[in-house]
Amino acid sequence: MNKSTFFSLILFLIAGFTVSAQKHGGFDFKKLDKYLEKAYNDWGIPGMAIAVTEGDKIVFAKGYGIKEYGKDAPVDTKTLFAVASNTKAFTASSLSQLVDEGKLSWDDKVTDYLPWFKMYNNYVTGEMTVRDLLCHRSGLETFSGDLLWYETNYSSKEVIERSRFLKPKYGFRSHFGYSNIMFSAAGEIVSVISGKPWKGYVQTHFLDKLEMKNSILSVSEIKTNSNIAIPHHTDENIKPIPIKYMAWDNVAPAAALISNVEDMSNWLIMNMNEGVFKGDTILSEEQLWEMQSAQTPDNSSKSWLNYFPTKHFEAYGLGWSTFDYRGVKVVNHGGGADGMISQTMFVPEKDFGMVVLTNSVNYLPNAMMYYIIDDYFGDITDDWSAFFLKVYNYGKKMHKKDAEEYEKNRVKHAKPSLELIDYTGIYGGDLYGDAEVKLENGHLVLDFLPSETLIGDLSHRHYDTFEIKLRNSPTLPKGTVQFILGTDGKVNELKVDIPNPDFDFTELEFKKK
């Protein structure tokens, strides 16, 4: 018996669940267990946990692997992971309770509750509704402004206030653009109406009532729990590297929840059972339907949908994503944090669901969503793990190709226009605030002043462009800092570009002060 098999056996004894039965409803749990064991190894994930729910019960739950690379402590069904954006449905559900209480309407104006709220123009500011906050149609591009909260000392209110300087990508209500900051504003409305901080409201109205006893709502609470998975950074040809937890406190309503598969299963069970958990009505059927209904189309490419022949649409509801698959509506949400990926899913009309939590960046949770649905219908014809692994590896291949092309474009022996000291100084703009360029040990350093974490070392690339590598952010790649010279030959601006799928450094303005 190898170590992985031994750990798996122990975890089942601890958790009290078993996969001895071949079938339960439409699922083949023995086959599922075998598939998961292989899949998480294929992906090189340090640790993972999964639970499958049916009706009002957890019918399968298991942990795989370890909580932290280099240590033996195994993942079990109570191990905590950051579930990140799966938090959004809790925020929407909080507002839905206030709607049922007659304290709020989905189409109330945001400024009715947050008079200080401002967007990129007066029309959008005045017309933005609570519903708009929750379905990603503000006109902003996906993840726009996320650097305002990422590792900064700005409060939630300051982040929202600064977002008025963000420039729209689309017309208001014309296009899907995923926004964490709009959900933060929604959380502020929960606080204003209820008289409780968002965190306190979610704790008493959901975590306590759903017996989510181990779940927490802030990274600051991690120290009180020893059974917690550590996030990992993985890169080509290197072993997983444990990294620190991302702090979400200043955008908590979008992504703060840290939970486990047992607790998250209770959440899914409530949502699948018309808002009732153990006889207690948490959410009304009317508001559940509203949250799970398509609000904003998500324009998936035809080429991507070709891989899913029974899938015809994707849309965002209120805190939930939706799509059709095999003739049923699937309600779901993913979660991504530095070094952790998660997925929740349920099929209301078939009364089953799933949660997968992992402690590295990978696509396996998304793959398992399709596997579980296929398994329920008794027709597993596609190896979804292998498919998504192929997509993931193709992305890495393209990234490597881009890096090679980037290197080819370097102009060798092209010296900077100025002495290094002449690039130093304070640069800033209305959106983000200030950054400082300074000299340390003979090289330039760029310090993003609103953050104690974002500081990068600069090395000369060519002319007035320098490469930057952030010291404390291993998940972010190298980027560039370009100094823009005026007609007087002096620096009057710098532009930062650190290409990555989550944070847009190019939208930050840094003028020389």
pLDDT-based confidence at residue 4 (cuts at 50, 70, 90): very low
Q: Is 3-97+183-398's fold the same as 420-512's? A: no
Angle formed at CA 369 by CA 368 and CA 372, multiple of 5 degrees: 80
Give the pLDDT of residue 5. Answer: 38
Question: What are the sequence ranges of the domains in the chain?
Answer: 3-97+183-398, 113-182, 420-512
Rounded CA-CA distance 198/217 in Å is 10
Rounded CA-CA distance 343/385 in Å is 14
pLDDT-based confidence at residue 309 (cuts at 50, 70, 90): confident
pLDDT-based confidence at residue 303 (cuts at 50, 70, 90): confident
Question: Residue 2: pLDDT above 70?
Answer: no
Question: In Å, what is the CA distance from 454 to each residue of 130, 162, 235, 448, 476?
Answer: 33, 19, 20, 6, 11
Phi, psi of 179 (to 5 degrees): -130, 115
Rounded CA-CA distance 320/333 in Å is 6
* Residue scoring higher pLDDT (61 or 4): 61
| Check whether domain 3-97+183-398 has CATH 3.40.710.10, yes or no | yes
pLDDT-based confidence at residue 399 (cuts at 50, 70, 90): confident
Phi, psi of 451 (to 5 degrees): -125, 140
- Average pLDDT of the residues of the chain: 93
223 Cβ partners below 8 Å, 6+ apart?
none
| pTM, 2 dp | 0.92
Question: Residue 404: pLDDT above 70?
Answer: yes
Give the pLDDT of residue 21. Answer: 36
Rounded CA-CA distance 202/134 in Å is 16
| Check whether domain 420-512 has CATH 2.40.128.600, yes or no | yes
pLDDT-based confidence at residue 12 (cuts at 50, 70, 90): very low
